[in-house]
A and B are shown apart, each in its own frame.
Chain A
């Protein structure tokens, strides 16, 4: 009753540390007492192994495994197409999130399908399909050169060609230009959705311990926030140059998207799943040419020097080369999923930034011209996309 609280002045940072120290102490005590009251885990060990990378050499199938599950996994035997096979590697149990590489001796034949079943110490099987066996390219200089060429073919050149619409854009009336900006939004929206789904599909393939599909969202969130920050910084720094700023943002967004695309191309090529047929490159080229249009639309009525335009083109297209290198050299489905999410998030941010430029004289965004443009952009992407999948 009436006892006055004695005010002891404790520094603020100590107060911030108290809960952290308590939780550390509680964890230590809990571990020291061996989880009192909880006892043994119910049921057999949960074994989850993801195959992160498949490399085929003559006579050898090499798989890089990652333990996704809570318990250590021991690979005891390997079965390829219903026959036990000799292999080396993974002699020790693979701990949680650890990786191991097994080299399986298998006289595989090009173009045939293989099913590798790794038998664990509990008798469970981890099954990995190789739909089409093709020798994994050796990652030497000429290989990276080929990947660079591929990236240039599908990324840099089409975007640059698409940007050649600029002179035409400069002569068309504002209403047309708004419709073309709508077209750009449609193109980008299609790419964002497509990249997200691609990311989800890749996330399903990779190790789930790193978040699986959540990686796509994380990538998208990071990209959106980063690009929003860059956008805010650019518009403050260069007030008035909104046309070029927009173009730069679009180029960055498309570039990030092409990075993920390059990863997928490179990975598919090194897995033998990508035929470098001429019509595949042509399909990609047509498909990506429209991206060039998207970049130059905002600068139609501004001034942009040639070298700036070239820079925009490179920002949008060159990441395809980098992506192809990453995909072919160090493919990892989780990283690819993250990059696709990153691309999708970047594009969403660009779309949000672009939308005000669609406004007509009455301030409407979704006016008939814009809607037509957006639908047209989606249609263009869909149709040219069919060429790629063909």
Chain B
């Protein structure tokens, strides 16, 4: 005997199972027992990410816009300034799981930089990381301010500093990220953030939110173990984002997800006006699902018609159940 190789058995088992089923005419299809409340995928119970130790809380971050410091230049223009430090920092990306991240200002995503169209922007970059980094902004600017290796200041070595200075153009929703080789690693480890340029005339008053869609490859197999909007998976499931009935909600959606080709944003119980890249004041689409590749971003606007709890999530079920889902609580 002894031909019982495991692989052989499995193959035999498959064929045999089929036979058995045919014979017993569906006698005992089982399994799929339900559990608990049959609820959503989530991390294990009774554990939670320590936001204080991380140094940032996704519930604060979602409405946190960093307008920097401003002063008026002799020519009358506004000069807006920020300081961004690249910092190596261990981040708890799932309850109980630490990730050796690279961050801007100790948080992921980095600060949501917010300026007004036409202002002069000056970003001082200090590299306190053990690796060379840059800040590459999306937008219109001179080549030497592009934050890529070999052009302008190029790579900023550990301990080095540089100043990126350019005009806030064009109005819209942009992003910034590190552009040092290997690019995927420098982005995936957390060096990115949203960059909003408000139109000169502003936008309608709204409850504004920022969602940087990201993920983390904690075992370095170039595939993400966990997905989220604003880094901490399921954070807005465990504690929904509170919004008001009938009030205009505006979400700045940025996709920086590494290792996956696309990401998406889907809203339950409503449709939204979608402004790709936020560069036009006329919506391109009235929809409930948008798909974004890495670096793609857009603004979604809507008003909730009914009170209650509405999910939002990536409409790739895999991403959803690996963390990228949340709830709006409308009251």
Contact = CB atoms under 8 A, between A and B. Distances in A.
Interface of A: 56-60, 74, 76-79, 82-88, 105-111, 117, 119-125, 131-135, 154, 191, 194-195, 198, 201-202, 205, 257-258, 260-261, 264-265, 268, 272-277, 280, 284, 287-288, 291, 385-386, 388-390
Contacts of A261: 1-2, 4
Contact of A108 (B10, B29, B32): B32
Nearest to A272: B13
Contacts of B4: 198, 261, 264-265, 268, 388
A274 B98 CA distance: 41
A131 B10 contact: yes
Given A83-B321, A86-B45, A110-B29, 15 more contacts: A58-B33, A77-B43, A79-B225, A79-B322, A123-B98, A123-B216, A123-B219, A123-B225, A131-B10, A258-B1, A261-B2, A265-B4, A276-B16, A277-B20, A280-B16
B1 to A, nearest CB: 5
A201 B6 contact: yes
B93 interface: yes
B2 A194 contact: yes
B1 A288 contact: yes
Interface string B72-107: 000000000000000000000111111100000000
A96 to B, nearest CB: 20
Interface in B1-54: 1-6, 8-10, 12-17, 19-20, 29-36, 38, 41-45, 47
A77 B95 contact: yes
A123 B218 CA distance: 4
B6 A268 contact: yes
Contacts of B45: 86
B15 A109 contact: no
B326 interface: no
Contact of B35 (A60, A258, A288): A60
Contact of B96 (A76, A132, A274): A76
A275 B97 contact: no
Contacts of B98: 121-123
A303 to B, nearest CB: 30
B1 A388 contact: yes
B321 A84 contact: yes
A105 B5 contact: no
Contacts of B207: none
Given A284-B1, A388-B3, A83 B97 contact: no
